[in-house]
Chain A
């Protein structure tokens, strides 16, 4: 049945999950396991009207594969702590939250992405979205189990600049979630501005000291 279909998938680009505990997540994956923080997206909520502001941050898990988490500002938990977080949700849970748990399959090129889009559509399988993100372009569909599946190729290689930005984002995020006030994206932006300025001053001192 599939002999004539070329196999263009190249493993996991990223697997993604929601988190209510970014500090614990960073401590576990980065501080304890030593997975580098390699990319982040801080965005104002867009698309569905109920979509909150969010931070999407990525750890390198080797071989170019990544593990990603979504932290949503101002979102209450949907299940008790200690349960396998967030796998089963009733109709009250917004779609964006269910879909934050997803697998992204890596392909090498725009052509390969188009080929998977063709295969899906030729079989009357709806490609729900095609999105050019910051560093990747992706198509999305749901499998028969209701799991969101993404196919993606890199539109550019990420660099040290992306990694350093992600580290600052995560530092700022942890600072705002550990404070007494309600975390917001605005507070993250303000804290990150302070870190950028402090880093630049440190770098300048380093240059002057040489």
Chain B
């Protein structure tokens, strides 16, 4: 299962909210929000409304998944 950790701070809130819509599970662990997905996870940047400088640093940690796309359009993580 893909585990994507996002630091729970205001600038990443929109990213977290959008991620929570597409993830299978969403919970808090320490200072982070953990988004879990059994399958490919796609977060759309425009849907999330995240500006670029913050978009590219929103991933705090990631395991059991491989970044297939991380550009101005979307973050796409595939299961490893």
Q: Do A and B bind each other?
A: yes
Partner-B contacts on A (CB < 8 A): 41-46, 131-135, 155-156, 159, 161-162, 164-165, 172, 186, 189-190, 192-197, 199-200, 203
Which of A134, A162, A189 is B61 in contact with, Cβ under 8 Å? A189
Instruction: Kindly identify, within residues 12 to 59 of chain B, every residue whose CB is under 8 Å from any CB belonging to chain A.
Output: 29-32, 51-54, 56-57, 59
Interface size, chain B (Cβ < 8 Å): 26
Given contacts A189-B63, A190-B61, A196-B29, whether A132 and B5 have CB atoms under 8 Å apart is: no
Q: Which residues of B contact A131 (CB under 8 A)?
A: 53
- Separation of A44 and B56 alpha carbons in the complex (Å): 5
| Residue of A44, A131, A132, A203 most packed against chain B (CB within 10 A) | A44
Main secondary structure of the interface of B (DSSP, over half): mixed
Find out whether the CB atom of A134 lies under 8 angstroms from the CB atom of B8: no
Main secondary structure of the interface of A (DSSP, over half): helix
Which of A155, A156, A165, A194 is B31 in contact with, Cβ under 8 Å? A165
Given contacts A132-B51, A200-B29, A200-B30, whether A193 and B57 have CB atoms under 8 Å apart is: no
Given contacts A189-B61, A189-B62, A196-B61, whether A162 and B9 have CB atoms under 8 Å apart is: yes
Find out whether the CB atom of A193 lies under 8 angstroms from the CB atom of B31: no
Q: Which residues of B contact A192 (CB under 8 A)?
A: 5, 60-61
Given contacts A190-B61, A190-B62, A194-B63, whether A135 and B11 have CB atoms under 8 Å apart is: yes
The yes or no answer to B1 lying at the interface (CB within 8 A) is: no
- Separation of A186 and B67 alpha carbons in the complex (Å): 8
A200 to chain B, nearest CB (A): 5
